Amino acid sequence: MSFISYESTSEQGKSWTIVSPIYFRYKVVESQNLLEPGNDTLLTGHLRDPEQLDAFRSSTKPIKRFVVIDETVNQLYGPQVSSYFEARNVNYKILPLPTTEENKSMELVMKILQELHSFGISRHTEPIIAIGGGVCLDIVGFAASLYRRRTPYIRVPTTLLSYVDASVGAKTGVNFSQCKNKLGSYIPPVATFLDRSFIQTVPRRQISNGLAEMLKMALMKHKGLFELLERHGKFLLDTNFQSCNGLLDHGCVALMTSRIAIETMLEELAPNLWEDDLDRLVDFGHLISPELEMVVLPTLMHGEAVNIDMAYMTYVSNDRGFLTTAERNRIIQCMKNLELPVWHHDFSLNLVKKSLNERLKHSEGLQRMPLPTGVGTAEIFNDIDDEVLERSFKKWCEDLSTEE
């Protein structure tokens, strides 16, 4: 990694400007039976080249791993995690925590850091492992970014939403001052390990919750993904994202939809990990939903709040002529088929305007509003006025307020 230094002199004195690129490389790995003792992925899947792998295998130093696991996930999989490390002769510490949106705080981060400090790890060779949903992955990632300024960590998502969303990006964070993810950092994991079998124990509502983030990417970038969700959504819900239905020539619908969602997400995230470019299609559904989510906590899950935001914005897009009424209705019907809420009584016009005004403050004075311009295509808009917002809100409420 190189850097360039520029020197200049003025009447006030000398100055130096340092240009140092930030470089990260991380892996997103599909792996079946991740907790089977014969599967090396959990211990070595993050290693990037053969030399690192050879060094690991030839080392006589005891292996240590610090694991933070959501307490609900621990009840289901904790014994398997322990059995895995014991079978591999690993010195390990498992820390179960209540990683819910209500507990997504600095207090939980400090709890992790204190336990981590007591256990002791090498920040170069012993990555922290986070096993859980998106909240768990966010909290552990933030703790890892603070411990000794940056300690590598591994993500193991166990919900559908975290599988296709939180697991593949670089953002970490916690809620602060009643604001969602107000504190955080941009530190990607060294690796994310995807094992779809975790999702089989997730409640149906959690599956639906994850489908919202998949639908977001479908509406923004991939008509084919939308059509798969439209056609097979009920099957995906009925089978907890596990089984094939024999209707596709190219394999399992769960595998196909999750891969497409991840690939389209990475297409958007990878060139802009640090969000230097504020025009982001992945912000669709995330303009009003953070405020809504914090207002009604814990009534709505993240994906549900996102979907309500998307449903309203679909009406905005229709009002502006970017979507036909037929396309708007088709999108809303798909949302309903995925068992996602499309309206909420706390999603008020005042909340819309407050949220968008806050966005202006943090987006260099522009709305930067992603809106669908068809099924699977989208653009960023900066000229959606109050009249459009109000007219769309009225129509949205007239059509869908009975859906709650």
| Predicted pLDDT of residue 244 | 66
What domains lie within the chain, and their CATH numbers? 28-46+61-201 (3.40.50.1970), 204-403 (1.20.1090.10)
Instruction: Give the least confident one: 298-302, 331-335, 359-363.
Output: 359-363
Question: Residue 63: enclosing H or E segment and its boundaries?
Answer: strand 63-70
- What sign does the dihedral 212-216-221-226 (CA atoms) show? positive
How many other β-carbons are positioned within 10 Å of the β-carbon of residue 286?
A: 21
Q: Which two tokens stand for residue 235?
A: 């099957």
CA–CA separation, 134 and 199 (whole Å): 13
Residues 126 and 65 sit within 8 Å (Cβ to Cβ): yes
Average pLDDT over residues 200-212: 97
- Output the average pLDDT for the chain: 93
- Average pLDDT of the segment spanning 73-91: 97
Q: Which residue has the higher pLDDT, 19 or 186?
A: 186
Residue 290 has pLDDT above 70, yes or no: yes
Active-site residue list: 171
- Which residues have CB under 8 Å from 107's CB, separation 6+? none
Cα–Cα distances in angstroms (integers) from residue 49 to residues 56, 152, 167, in the given order:
11, 16, 22
Q: Which residues contact 341 (CB under 8 A, 6 or more apart)?
A: 300, 304, 307, 308, 403, 404
The bridge status of strand 369-374 relative to strand 90-97 is unpaired
Q: What percent of the chain has a predicted confidence (pLDDT) above 70?
A: 97
At 60, is the secondary structure helix, strand, or coil? coil
Checking if the pLDDT of 1 tops 60, the result is no
Q: Please report the pLDDT score of residue 250 as a whole number.
A: 42
Angle between the 134-146 and 106-119 helix axes, to the nearest 10 degrees?
60
Q: What is the per-residue pLDDT for 399?
A: 97
12-61, pLDDT tens digit by residue?
898 988 888 778 889 999 999 999 999 999 999 999 888 888 888 888 88
Is 11's pLDDT higher than 70?
Answer: yes
pLDDT band at 167 (very low <50, low <70, confident <90, very high): confident
Mean pLDDT of 373-382: 97
243-251 average pLDDT score? 54
Q: What is the pLDDT of residue 249?
A: 44
Element (H, E) at 216: helix 204-221
Our measurement of the distance from residue 162's CA atom to the centroid of its chain's CA atoms, rounded to an integer in Å, reads: 5
pLDDT in tens, 103-136: 999 999 999 999 999 999 998 889 999 999 999 9
Phi then psi dihedrals of residue 9, to 5 deg: -130, 135
Cis, peptide link before residue 372, omega less than 30° from 0: no
Query: What does pTM read for this prediction?
Result: 0.93
* Percentage of the chain modeled with pLDDT above 90: 80
Q: What is the DSSP string of 328-367?
A: HHHHHHHHHHTT-----TT--HHHHHHHHHHHHHHTTT--
At 268, list the tokens. 């958007």
Residue-level pLDDT at 246: 53
